[in-house]
Amino acid sequence: MKLGNFELLALSDGTFALDGGQMFGVVPRALWEMKLPPDDRNRVRLGLTCLLVRTGTHNVLVETGIGDKFAAKYIDIYGIEKTTTLPVELAKAGLKLEDIDVVINTHLHFDHCGWNTRRENGRIVATFPRARYCVQRGEWDHALHPTERDVASYVTEFFRPAEVQTEFLEGDQEIVPGVRVEVLPGHTRDLQCVHIESEGQRACFISDLVPTRHHLPYPWIMAFDLYPMETLANKHRLLPRLAEQGTLVIFPHDPDVPWARVSDENGRITAMPLS
């Protein structure tokens, strides 16, 4: 997909599955099961979409999927299916691991930073040897000291071995020309989404503010969110703007549609098929 002078590629790291109740918060199963039918363990299948932005000067990778370091027990619990992997997808796009200049993590939950690191000769090392890894400082600190409520969402070995290559961000900022992050608290205190703009064309990696297109309706908010009322307020702030500007929205976990443009009809936000 072309975006002005940039090239965007949606790269998959396979799929996983989470409890449907956790994914849809206060929305009853009678409603969400019509959108995503659960399996016999009440889990819904989810995508693991990462975004590669080729600006012509930089290769910027947004998110790194779930990785390959989970033990069998968690592969079962989270229904991880490696139909493909991020490194395979990068290779298909003609890129080596050392070609990645910047990695942006919107937050450090295990399904967003899995390939920040990889195993090599029994050690865990940074996957992208030349990259600077960009993460909010508040998210990093929280990931190392989570609460009892969200401790299961963080796996230290997925991100900490890349610490020396990590740039700790403090709030909104430009990462490279045309790529900037905006902090939108709710899912976590320091969740950031990524805005991409070239030649007046816009895209937004919206992260877990809107994990799938089924989460576009305002009250469809995950039970995982630490601050759900802030998620609600930030959806109201951001989504009408994205609709008005014709922004391409990239969803991290939609099982069927990695990206879409959205429309706002009298306060109802819906995904439009790409023509």
Q: Which residues contact 78 (CB under 8 A, 6 or more apart)?
A: 16, 17, 18, 66, 70
With binding defined as CB under 5 A, does residue 63 bind Zn ion?
A: no
Q: Which is nearer to Zn ion, 174 or 256 (CB)?
A: 256
Question: Which residue, among 90, 78, 75, 21, has the nearest Cα to 46 in the 3D structure?
Answer: 78
137-140: long-range pairs with CB below 8 Å, 24+: 137/168, 137/169, 137/170, 137/190, 138/189, 138/190, 139/105, 139/107, 139/108, 139/188, 139/189, 139/190, 139/191, 139/192, 140/108, 140/166, 140/168
Q: Which is nearer to Zn ion, 6 or 154 (CB)?
A: 154
How many residues touch Zn ion under the rule CB under 5 A: the total is 2
Q: Which residues contact 26 (CB under 8 A, 6 or more apart)?
A: 219, 221
Contacting range for Zn ion; rule: CB under 5 A; set: 69-77, 173-181, 201-209, 227-235: 201-209
Least gap, CB of 5 to Zn ion (angstroms): 30
Least gap, CB of 99 to Zn ion (angstroms): 25
Q: Which is nearer to Zn ion, 111 or 197 (CB)?
A: 111
Instruction: Give me the torsion for CA of 164, 169, 175, 181, rounded to 10°.
Output: 140
- Give the whole-angstrom CA distance, residue 27 versus residue 110: 24
Site for Zn ion in 20-39 (CB under 5 A): none
Q: Which is nearer to Zn ion, 6 or 159 (CB)?
A: 159
Q: Which residue reads 């991409």 in tokens?
A: 196
Query: Which token pair is 103?
Result: 């990695």
With binding defined as CB under 5 A, does residue 208 bind Zn ion?
A: yes
Helix ranges (H only) for 28-136 are 29-32, 72-77, 86-92
Least gap, CB of 211 to Zn ion (angstroms): 6
Can you tell me whether residue 67 is helix, strand or coil? Answer: coil
Q: Alpha carbon 208 to chain centroid distance? A: 6
Q: Which is nearer to Zn ion, 79 or 240 (CB)?
A: 79
Query: Which token pair is 52?
Result: 């590669």
Least gap, CB of 110 to Zn ion (angstroms): 9
Site for Zn ion in 42-61 (CB under 5 A): none
Residue 144 · residue 156 · CB < 8 Å = yes
Neighbours of 218 (CB within 10 A): 15
With binding defined as CB under 5 A, does residue 197 bind Zn ion?
A: no
Q: Which is nearer to Zn ion, 196 or 222 (CB)?
A: 222
Q: Which is nearer to Zn ion, 139 or 208 (CB)?
A: 208
Site for Zn ion in 81-120 (CB under 5 A): 111
Least gap, CB of 79 to Zn ion (angstroms): 14
Q: Which is nearer to Zn ion, 190 or 208 (CB)?
A: 208
Least gap, CB of 128 to Zn ion (angstroms): 20
Least gap, CB of 208 to Zn ion (angstroms): 5
Contacting range for Zn ion; rule: CB under 5 A; set: 28-36, 64-72, 206-214, 224-232: 206-214
Binding site for Zn ion (CB under 5 A): 111, 208
